[in-house]
Chains A and B, each alone.
Chain A
Amino acid sequence: MPSTRDIRRRIKSVKNTAQITKAMQLVAAAKMKKAQDQASHGRAYAEMLNKVLVNLKVHAEEGIHPFFAEGKGDKTLVLLIASDKGLCGALNTNLFKKLLNTQIEGEVEYVTIGRKSVQAINRLRRTLLADFPIKDPAKFAEVRAVSRFIQDKYRTGEYKKVLAVFNNFINTVTILPSVEQLLPVNPVTLGGKRDFGHEITPAAAATLEYKFEPSAQVVFETVLPQYVNDTVYQMVLESRASEHSSRMVAMKNATDNAKQMIKDLSLEYNKLRQAAITNELLEITTAKMALE
């Protein structure tokens, strides 16, 4: 049975923890707002670019651009986007689980963003090609370096395709770990449900003829690298929004739990104190009665 002093000490330590988690919750909430706005603003652009290119892919003559066809090699490049810091619930664990459950044929090599993903890849003893530290909030110029690295690798033809593993942000409590194909150009889902409302089926699209100005080659050569840059950037934004939301929720739960614990401990403490007082009173009365 713990003494009242022990309980008092425990209440104090739980209170301190609650204070820290509360502070982290507030910080995460502020960052979350910004990250969510950023992610949702960029989504329309990235989605439409993807839509347009998927439509155009059907018309592209074979071999017009390397990004439209699978590479000759049989290796797969995986871009893994996780958070830099922990204390964000099961966010990263779920993402890595998703990665491990995904069947990828042939040799797999990794490019990572975020410290947690580097750690995971090292722990799993997989081949790590490069790691890119990206600050928070993410800057486009930093992400462009990652994108350029991936494009250069893909152009060598050693890789069959490039996959991206990241957290799709749907809303504050729902985060979807996703695996999407970045290259060759493929429909990509960013954040929640995808509105493919006026999507043209490949068969119908094939009957549509497009004219390219000045030529298909020039158009694709300018647009496709931009497409990869922007898609990777959007994926990073989705991941960041997920990270901050997840951390906010985790910290809120921690604070709530700490508060509940303080309540329980206080109750126990008061019970003990009352028991001690009653005991003392009893002793005094018995002593008095013995004297009479």
Chain B
Amino acid sequence: MPLKLEIVTPEARIYSDEVDTVVLPGYEGEMGVLPAHSNLVTTLVPGELRITKGGKTIELAVGEGLVEVTGSVTRILTDAAIDSEKIDEKAAEEAIARAKKALETLKPGEQQEEVAAAMAAIQRATIHLNIKRKRRTI
């Protein structure tokens, strides 16, 4: 029984294919999904998602979202998903610097939305960097 994986973001349908296994960053830690997994719903936290298909592994950096697992289909809805090979290290570093600067100018307790947005940007960029650098050391 194959496992069908669908990943969609607000911008596009990133992935839709049958895979052997997928490892995703769930709310309670990294979680592997194999075919015929029991039905499960969980939230996705920003992190690294690995898809294995025919011995090949694809790594994606994902954002927050929702995961629905049924026996045959795994649906992942996330606000961002980017292939690790397409991550731009320099852009990620710049994003961190920019967000940190923004955090300094914002006063604590005020403009909570902006603070949250900056924090999220730092988190996202850090994950991108981690995934990219990990690959290089291997």
Contacts and interface: CB of A to CB of B under 8 A. Distances in A.
Interface string B33-50: 000001111110000000
Nearest to A237: B10
Contacts of B26: 213
A211 B38 contact: yes
A41 B10 contact: yes
B68 A52 contact: yes
Interface residues of B, number: 23
A23 to B, nearest CB: 31
Given A210-B41, A213-B41, A222-B43, A44 B68 contact: no
Interface residues of A, number: 26
16 contacts: A42-B11, A44-B8, A44-B13, A45-B10, A45-B13, A48-B75, A49-B77, A52-B77, A209-B39, A211-B39, A213-B26, A219-B27, A219-B42, A219-B43, A222-B66, A233-B10
Given A45-B8, A198-B73, A213 B66 contact: no
A41 B14 CA distance: 11
Contacts of A45: 8-11, 13, 77
Interface string A206-219: 00111111101011
B55 to A, nearest CB: 28
Interface string A127-169: 0000000000000000000000000000000000000000000
A153 B40 CA distance: 31
Interface of B: 6, 8-13, 26-28, 38-43, 64, 66, 68, 70, 73, 75, 77
Contact of B66 (A42, A44, A49, A211): A49
Contacts of B12: 41, 44
Nearest to A198: B73
A49 to B, nearest CB: 5
Interface in A149-204: 198
Contacts of B75: 48, 52
Contacts of A233: 10
Contacts of A223: 43, 66
Contacts of A49: 66, 77
Contacts of B38: 211
